[in-house]
Amino acid sequence: MNDTYDPPQTPLDVLHEDAQLIVVNKPSGLLSVPGRGANLSDCLLTRVQDAFPQALLVHRLDRDTSGVMVFAQTPHAQRNLSMQFEQRQTRKTYVARVWGQLEPKTGTVDLPLIVDWPNRPRQMVCHATGKPAVTDWRVVKTEGDTTRVRLFPKTGRSHQLRVHMQALGHPILGDPFYATGDALDFPRLMLHSEELRLKHPEGGVSMKFRARPEF
């Protein structure tokens, strides 16, 4: 992380809380977990643990991505929820604004990804050694030179949505790693985790959590 880390100092936005899990709306610009160095210690995990000391990490969102994140309240819930993510039993919906007019209105990106080691944390498409990565998309509407789109990742690779949109020739607006020119000239990464569906770790009831994007 080469730029100055200046996370937003907004109040914790709790979407749901019970004995097994906590769901929050992460702001853009805030790390999910601490980075290396004291200047990167402020993160969503520590803020959640300030309010809920027993909270445990289940998954992460990129620093610049906003939206729904779930934390466990017990070790049992952490194991259960982590397994749901690992076995792709959760359902995730993202909203993004991308550069250009994305066509057709629906489609799928199936491109394997691997870390771009000389330029990490950037990822890149690699058909020889990349891990499978699949994203479905559906256009919501065009907005001038940009398109609002919903993204449905079928896998959970690092930077998957960002690289897949760039590979289509429609980088996500404001993306510091993959956007260039006019597509980069936005105040934040226009990517938001809008909805997360999972099974409650105690009883298995299906649950849905949503948070509206700010863009």
Q: Which residues are catalytic?
A: 62
Cα 176 to Cα 186: distance, rounded to the nearest angstrom: 10
The pair of structure tokens assigned to 99 is 């550069």
Cα 37 to Cα 35: distance, rounded to the nearest angstrom: 6
Cα 124 to Cα 157: distance, rounded to the nearest angstrom: 11
